[in-house]
A and B are shown apart, each in its own frame.
Chain A
Amino acid sequence: MSEILVLVEHADGQVKKVTFELLTLARALGTPSAVWLGIGASDAALASLGEYGAEKVYVVDSADMDDFLVAPKAEALARLMADSSAAAVLLPSTAEGKEIAGRVAVKAGSGIITDAVGVAADFTATQSVFGGSTVVTSRVSNGTPLITVRPNSTAPVPSPGAAARVDVAADISDAAKSARVVGRTVASKGGRPDLSEAAIVVSGGRGVGGAEGFGVVEALADSLGAAVGASRAATDAGWYPHQYQVGQTGKTVSPQLYIANGISGAIQHRAGMQTSKTIVVVNKDPEAPIFELADFGVVGDLFAVVPQLTEEIAKRKA
């Protein structure tokens, strides 16, 4: 079976869930090899990749990967791709994953598909475009397919692999070390999961009424172990930080459960959440277009409904 490279998404030595999803997908396409770029590839991390079927783990253990933006990762991945003669490369569809894929496409002369929600055995990819209104199947017609896959597109399923470590020298060119990361600022998010990876997202919009109003949204999110999202109306008003915006010009999320509170459902908001598996809506306007997407909706005041829901969840979990 041909080798499929999977770029590992990791932070602080921990493998992110999207990687397990990509490995699960890759197993249906060939023999998955994980690619770890950067420091921190511990035995435990490798073992977790093995749990999801990685037969090999290529490790480029170099601080250059994190000290400089994108270009070193693209260079290392392009070289691995050439040396391994992989049949395809899967990357997470994050801002950085897409940029890496883009640069590798140029280096390797390969076609690129971004934001896939599925990949078939013949490497045709399914994408959901135009705010989820259209489903497209496409394929790479030149070179080794580079496909970025949206987090939460597949459920990760364990299946043991050898996870044999293969160390690869970094040997990054000076040209690729031109944009230096000089600082990292972590905005506190109170231990909530990453928005784009979270299995559950609880969002608030203009109906939340102000920054304080997000308290009820956060309380609900925390009762479910969810990430918090916001509509643009809420981020533009400064009620919630911009990096939590969901939609056309914010994050695209595809969680198992999306709870929209006080959000009307403008097409630009839908563009970022329409592929969520289950959608629950709380809005006081029965005509709000967001109800068209609802699997379950309540017409009511979110300041009554949401706290009650949070309380009920606590009760039922107890």
Chain B
Amino acid sequence: MKIAVCVKQVPDTWAEKKLQAGDSTLDREAAEGVLNELDEYAVEEALRIGEAHGGEVVVVSMGPERAAETVRKALSMGADAGIHLVDDALHGSDAVATSAALATVLEGRSFDLIIFGSESTDARMSVVPAMVAERLVLPQVTFAQKVEIDGSTVRIERQMEYGFDTVEASLPAVVSVVEKINEPRYPSFKGIMAAKKKPVEILSVADIGLDPATVGLGAAWSVVDDFAARPPKAAGMVVADEGEGGSRIADYLVDQKFI
């Protein structure tokens, strides 16, 4: 079994995120870059499937130079090899271009499973896995809270508002996982040392045969015209409960016509 797990470096969720004046892209230097938390579940799931069924786990990441740390993090968790697509031309790519670049990297490498986290904590669009499935004409089995491999079949529980759907497809397939699925492992000291020696293939846009004019900010099919800090909310009223707190909220709700 050959498994790809796609990961993204994002600003630490605790850090304040800002768009940059000029090109309205995320200021990635302003905050420490970390492995997207939801991708940790994807890495963990890839490792578990690899351990249970035998096989190789390859981390794939598109991102600036420093996203190399993110690839290393996944390697230190136990992935076998990495692919880092890094090119200035990719800066500001939208989801459409990102999915094209990832699909181009993944295509022809005969992966049985391509696993993603269900969204990135910075862009929060949750569309790249579906787009990659569309481009590679592979079954899309996304938002999995459980993944089972049975021979050449993958079966997932797709998290739904009302519970879950059970969905089946033949391999190869594109999977995305939600955080409920597992408990990601911490890299061990041994893992961290071993990661330093694991192979990472560095690819540029030219290496994968993509036209640089089709990616990056200039090629984005959606553009940010403007952004502003949300105006601060007018201070509300806060009272201490002196035995009538519940009743005071009820008064407020009547006042606001909720009751």
From A98, A280, A286, contact of B127 by CB (8 A): A98
- Of A69, A98, A133, A309, the residue contacting B250 (CB under 8 A) is A309
B237 near A296 (CB under 8 angstroms)? yes
A141 with B142: CB separation less than 8 A = no
**Which of the 9-residue segments B44-52, B76-84, B85-93, B163-171 touches chain A?**
B163-171
Q: How far is the CA of A176 from the CA of B137 in the complex (A)?
A: 8
Chain A interface SS verdict (over half): mixed
How big is chain B's contact interface, by range?
Answer: 35 or more
Q: How far is the CB of B127 from chain A (nearest CB, A)?
A: 3
Q: Who on chain A is nearest to B243 by CB?
A: A304
A99-B127, A308-B247 in contact; A111/B134 too (CB < 8 A)? no
Q: Contact: A249 with B37, CB < 8 Å?
A: yes
With contacts A112-B95, A115-B124, A136-B226 taken as known, whether A185 is within 8 angstroms of B164 at the C-beta atoms is yes
A82 at the interface (CB under 8 A from B): no
Can you name the residue of chain B whose Cβ is closest to the Cβ of A183? B166
Q: How far is the CA of A286 from the CA of B122 in the complex (A)?
A: 30
Report chain A residues within 8 Å CB of B119. 249
Q: Which chain B residue shows the least CB distance to A297? A: B238
Taking CB atoms, residues of chain A closer than 8 Å to B162 are 186-187, 189, 194
In contact, A102 and B130 (Cβ under 8 angstroms): yes
CA distance A67 to B178 in the complex (A): 22
Chain B residues closer than 8 Å to A211, beta-carbon distance = none
Within 8 A of B (CB), among A167-190: 175, 178-187, 189
Q: Which of A33-41, A49-57, A156-164, A310-318 contacts B (4 or more CB under 8 A)?
A: A310-318
A140→B221 contact, CB < 8 A: yes
How far, in whole Å, are A200 and B167 apart by their CA atoms in the complex?
32
Nearest Cβ in chain A — how far from B212, in angstroms?
17
> At the interface, yes or no: A291 with Cβ under 8 Å from chain B?
yes
A105-153 CB contacts (< 8 Å) to partner B: 105-107, 109-115, 124, 128-130, 132-143
A129 to B120: give the CA distance in the assembly, Å.
Answer: 13
- For A298, give its contact among B16, B129, B221, B241 (CB under 8 Å): B241
Cβ-closest chain A residue relative to B96:
A105
CB 8 Å contact bits of B132-160 with A (1 = contact, 0 = none): 01110111111101000000000101111
Q: What total count of A-B pairs have CB within 8 Å?
A: 271
| A300 and B241 contacting across the interface, CB-CB below 8 Å | yes
Q: Is A224 part of the contact surface with B, judged by Cβ < 8 Å?
A: yes
Check B225–A132 contact: CB distance below 8 A: no
Of A98, A267, A297, which is within 8 A of B126 by CB? Answer: A98
Chain A residue at minimum C-beta to C-beta distance from B226: A137
List the 5 shortest-distance A-B pairs measured between CB atoms, nearest first.
Answer: A300-B241, A308-B246, A111-B221, A102-B127, A309-B246
Q: Which residues of B come within 8 Å of A, CB atoms?
A: 13-14, 16-19, 24, 37-38, 94-96, 99, 119, 121, 124-131, 133-135, 137-143, 145, 155, 157-170, 173, 178-180, 220-230, 233, 236-241, 243-250, 252-254, 256, 258-259
23 A-B residue pairs with CB within 8 Å:
A69-B167, A70-B130, A99-B142, A102-B134, A111-B220, A113-B222, A133-B16, A134-B228, A143-B221, A178-B140, A185-B157, A185-B166, A187-B163, A268-B13, A292-B233, A294-B236, A294-B238, A298-B245, A306-B246, A309-B245, A310-B246, A312-B247, A313-B250
